[in-house]
Structure 1
Amino acid sequence: MSFSIVVDHVSFGWPDGTKVLDRLDAAFPAGRTGLIGVNGSGKSTLLKVIAGELAPGSGSVSVTGEVGYLPQNVPLEGGRTVSDLLEISGKRAALHAIEGGDVAEEHFTALGDDWDVEERARAELDRLGLDHVGLDRTVATLSGGEAVMVALAAQLLKRPGVLLLDEPTNNLDLDARRRLYAAVAAWPGVLVVVSHDRALLDLVDQIADLRDGAVHLYGGNLADYEERLAAEQEAAERTVRTAEGEVRRQQRELIEARTKLDRRRRNARKAFENKKVPKIVANGLKMKAQVSAGKHRALHQERLEEARERLTEAELAVRDDAEIRVELPGTAVPAGRTLLTLPLDPPPGRPDEVAEVADGERVKVLDRLVVRGPERIALLGPNGSGKTTLLRRIVEHGAHVPVRYLPQRLDVLDDALSVVDNVRAVAPSASVNDVRARLARFLFRGERADQPVGTLSGGERFRATLAALLSADPPPQLLLLDEPTNNLDMSSVRQLSQALAAYRGALVVASHDLPFLETLGITRWLRQDRDAGLAES
């Protein structure tokens, strides 16, 4: 098998000494590869190293062909435009200058043969469902999902030989996901995608599992990988049971051997005391017994140690992934108590109380959002419809009870501070030991709790943000969550679902992850639409 990407003994660590990759070897073949692993295993760092975004401390990376890279968080700051994100602003400027009569050589050099650059860019945006997004629109006005799709359009325009995607379905609505799946399925070159999206991972040709500092390659998609992994784990568990039985058997034999030797020493001593054998003979028997006892003891001890080593090796083959233990504040909200009343502006030209949305569904348009305890509200809607804006309005407007907001971009923590110090900033009355105990439930133990937030992976950053949110004083009675399953591995999503299902406060959750929403016991389904505003379906 020929490999398009070869990672040779690559190590990478952050300036504070936190090691992420340690002498990692990996090779990715042609076709589509899904790179998976638990949060914090180094997936995003590995992609950045391959893309040249990060320089390894040691080792080397070899890539066949030009590399395109779609990061987990597309930068939205500054005055950049969609054209800038597509990396065509220079060519557009040259084209417009030529069309305006400026025939300077530099414009023709900048444009090259790409005379249809705007038409091609427009076609890619339209293909990805972004027909409403203009080339001169500022990136800061895009939703998280729209920004991801524009960044994907940029890669489709460049057509690199190797494309790296980091959690590309984060923030995407269902229509955008379907378009992304189609683009991935049709990709003709090499593709490596980091994702927890099952539908996306079922489109790949192989799975690369980054675990315990090593990459293991499995042929087939996610379903094939899980089937093979289940068989491996079943075999590993059988091996553990066999090894445990061998340890017990060796322990019994060691005890039996010691018992026999002790009995022989007692008999020899009794024979001497009863004058049945001369002293010189007794001493010889004693010496022989001691030598024999030592040999037997060493033999059985060696066999026991070997059995224990085999057991340890067998146990290491059985996976035992750590999972977060989310414990939400136990603040009960009385049923029916009004927690929030937010007046809503009617959408321009649509004062109707009933509107028809894109899929033909008739919905009741709301002129205000009222949240009562302990409601569980799901907020749906396409990318760019204003879900995040609505959640921010709730925070700015204020509620009658303590409110906490988990933003989509996880940008509420101070990157320069440690995880511990970020939590202490929102819970000043809590002791350091109490804060560390809380963080341990989110898998930040010991030195990991002292890491600067700026060095965390996407999943780790989510855990740190959630820990800070839930540790805040006073604890929240109304939780606002914006795409909370972004960046989480599957086990963490399950843990979060279980915790939120047990939460006794009110929830407003914006998400495109319908299976996740269905686990929360949603009591109201609201839809934010570009034309109809906020409606109850």
Structure 2
Amino acid sequence: MTNPYLTLKGVSYVLSDGRTLFSDLNETFDQRPTGLVGRNGAGKTVLARMLAGQIQPTTGRCLRAGSVRYLAQQVSPPEGSTVADLAGMRHTLDALARIEAGSSAPEDFDAVGDDWDIRQRLRQALERNGLDPLDATTPADTLSGGEAMRVALIGAMLSDADFLILDEPSNHLDRPNRQALIEQLHDWPRGLLVVSHDRQLLESLARIVDLSSLGLRSYGGNYTFYVQSKAQERQTALQQLEQRKLERQREEQAMREQRERQERRLARGSRHGKEANQAKILLDRQKERSEASAGKLRQQHALAQQQLAQRVREAAQQVENEAPIVLHALPIAQAAQRRVVELDEVELPFVTGATRRISLTLSGRQRVGVIGPNGCGKSTLLKVLAGQLGPLAGTCKVTPGSVYLDQRLASLDPSLTALDQLRAANQTATEGKRRMRLAQLGLDAQKIVAASGSLSGGEHLKAALARVLYADPPPQLLLLDEPSNHLDLPSAQALEAMLRSYRGALIVVSHDDAFMDNLDLTDRLLANENGWLLEPW
């Protein structure tokens, strides 16, 4: 199709608990490469899935011209799945294999269609992306988070979809692969919508669409243009709101003075009538006229006050609701131990090459950023340190006061609420403090008592962060694997500030350069072709 598009007409979506997530959205997504941005919980993933046809709006219409391929932000392959499953090619490849084995079933030929070279194209794409050891039958559970995302992206890019919708596609990708993704998307010839908080990726797109409490707003430029335009819009809206408030204040003051003048005139008139010894009937008529005049003035003032209040409300509605995100500094329960990590000739499972073996000693004040390409063993190293995986050889000693946040947030039970899970991790804090800390993370009163699995990706991560960071006793060693993935910019900045103030040992894996640079790290643990190298940050 030459001109694919996705159009929203008066679209609203109401959650199962009755809350309205967004309402009256109107927008058209055409062939311009577009980024969809917004705060965590604004409804970006719901909107992306709606545009892809996976869910329906509560009201309004979503129109699609052409086929749509949607890639979710969490690549979580089920047990027994393969690279072919991740790439979305299993059905076609299985049908091709049956035909090659002698099948003449029409449904197999329909499944293959024109993709007779699909096996070769998949193999070539894996090679181009540096995934040479993999093939269609490689078990998906042997892949790192970054490798799984790269395979899913390969499947999307090899598809003949008229429109790609990618939800946080750069999450888990290392630096070279983030750049490669930008280049691939630049060459994509058809419709493209990318949901992301990745500033570098958003900078490469032609248009940014912002989803907020104000609805959808389109900015015809890259991320820098969007940030500047939105800041100017907010400043203008705040100035307009302040102007309306000042106008209301001046007008109300003028009306008070007018009422006071009228009251003084009435009082003088009443005294003059009595002093002039006027007849009672005249005094009564004068009183009636005065009361009617005062009543008319009150009605006029009441109407004017309503109009002034309405103007203030209308101005306030143009100011986006941006509650600040707060993370509290973490205390250390006791003096940090002299050594928190001791690895002696540890052999990591599932890792090949020079990074398979590591020796490492860390003290309680070291703050280490782990850097390296996808598949080198970064996440596996953290799992070994957390005790979730055993080393194949060597000795591993880690302080018992450690907590671990993995990429897939496996520590969070999706059936339990964020409040329940924080309560289980910290039984000494008051209920009010637990609720306050979740609220300051951007989880409102309804979301903290909703099942964690129903939260957005960013909200889900915040619930997991609260469970890990606010545990009692407080952690002496934090093991964080891609903690800024899915977080909007204000939340990522709050996490950066909290981690800067944290005085315990820290080991963090991230491909976000800006995030890592803001953590006041002391050391860099670099994985390369020669193995692991610990050096000053």
Unpaired stretches in structure 2, ≥5 consecutive residues: 388-395
Structure 1 residues 533 and 54: alpha-carbon distance in aligned structure 2, compared to 1, 3 A threshold: farther
Distance 1:373 1:510 in 2: 18
Deviation of the 1:136 alpha carbon: 2.2
User: Counterpart of 1:173 in structure 2: which amino acid?
Assistant: D
SS of equivalent to 2:269: helix
Deviation of the 1:51 alpha carbon: 1.9
Alignment of 1:473-492 (within 5 A): 473-492=472-491
- Is 1:5 the counterpart of 2:6 in the alignment? yes
Distance 1:127 1:367 in 2: 29
Deviation of the 1:44 alpha carbon: 0.4
The aligned residue for residue 208 of structure 2 is 207
Structure 1 residues 17 and 284: alpha-carbon distance in aligned structure 2, compared to 1, 3 A threshold: closer
The aligned residue for residue 386 of structure 1 is 377
The aligned residue for residue 360 of structure 1 is none
Structure 1 residues 308 and 345: alpha-carbon distance in aligned structure 2, compared to 1, 3 A threshold: same
Which moved further from structure 2: 384-393 or 401-410? 401-410
Distance 1:104 1:467 in 2: 55
Which moved further from structure 2: 246-255 or 14-23? 14-23
- Is 1:125 the counterpart of 2:106 in the alignment? no
Deviation of the 1:408 alpha carbon: 1.0
Q: Please provide the CA RMSD for this pair.
A: 2.7
Structure 1 residues 243 and 312: alpha-carbon distance in aligned structure 2, compared to 1, 3 A threshold: same
The aligned residue for residue 512 of structure 1 is 511
User: Counterpart of 2:325 in structure 1: which amino acid?
Assistant: I
Which moved further from structure 2: 248-257 or 419-428? 419-428
Structure 1 residues 266 and 188: alpha-carbon distance in aligned structure 2, compared to 1, 3 A threshold: same
User: Counterpart of 1:508 in structure 2: which amino acid?
Assistant: I
Structure 1 residues 280 and 85: alpha-carbon distance in aligned structure 2, compared to 1, 3 A threshold: same
The aligned residue for residue 423 of structure 2 is 424
The aligned residue for residue 66 of structure 1 is 67
Deviation of the 1:250 alpha carbon: 0.7
Deviation of the 1:448 alpha carbon: 2.1
Deviation of the 1:344 alpha carbon: 3.9
Structure 1 residues 262 and 205: alpha-carbon distance in aligned structure 2, compared to 1, 3 A threshold: same
Distance 1:109 1:295 in 2: 80
SS of equivalent to 2:399: coil
User: Counterpart of 1:533 in structure 2: which amino acid?
Assistant: G
The aligned residue for residue 534 of structure 1 is 532
Alignment of 1:220-299 (within 5 A): 220-299=221-300
The aligned residue for residue 445 of structure 1 is 444
Structure 1 residues 400 and 231: alpha-carbon distance in aligned structure 2, compared to 1, 3 A threshold: closer
The aligned residue for residue 390 of structure 2 is none
User: Counterpart of 2:454 in structure 1: which amino acid?
Assistant: T
Distance 1:498 1:331 in 2: 17
Distance 1:58 1:252 in 2: 45
Contact 2:405 2:481 in 1 (8 A): yes
TM-score normalised by structure 2 residue count: 0.90
Contact 1:82 1:139 in 2 (8 A): yes
The aligned residue for residue 392 of structure 2 is none
Distance 1:408 1:143 in 2: 10
Count of matched residue positions in the alignment of Structure 1 and Structure 2? 521
TM-score normalised by structure 1 residue count: 0.90
Contact 1:328 1:470 in 2 (8 A): no
Deviation of the 1:24 alpha carbon: 3.9
User: Counterpart of 2:479 in structure 1: which amino acid?
Assistant: L
Contact 1:257 1:297 in 2 (8 A): no
Deviation of the 1:513 alpha carbon: 0.9
Deviation of the 1:498 alpha carbon: 1.0
Structure 1 residues 451 and 398: alpha-carbon distance in aligned structure 2, compared to 1, 3 A threshold: farther
Structure 1 residues 260 and 415: alpha-carbon distance in aligned structure 2, compared to 1, 3 A threshold: same
The aligned residue for residue 192 of structure 1 is 193
Distance 2:266 2:345 in 1: 93
Structure 1 residues 17 and 488: alpha-carbon distance in aligned structure 2, compared to 1, 3 A threshold: same
Deviation of the 1:122 alpha carbon: 1.8
Distance 2:226 2:259 in 1: 49
Structure 1 residues 13 and 402: alpha-carbon distance in aligned structure 2, compared to 1, 3 A threshold: farther
SS of equivalent to 1:509: strand
Unpaired stretches in structure 1, ≥5 consecutive residues: 358-364
Distance 1:405 1:159 in 2: 40
User: Counterpart of 2:472 in structure 1: which amino acid?
Assistant: D
Contact 2:4 2:163 in 1 (8 A): no
The aligned residue for residue 467 of structure 2 is 468
| 1:145-172 superposed Cα distances (whole Å, 9 cap, x missing partner) | 1111100100111131010000011111
The aligned residue for residue 361 of structure 1 is none
User: Counterpart of 2:176 in structure 1: which amino acid?
Assistant: D
SS of equivalent to 1:293: helix
Deviation of the 1:18 alpha carbon: 5.0
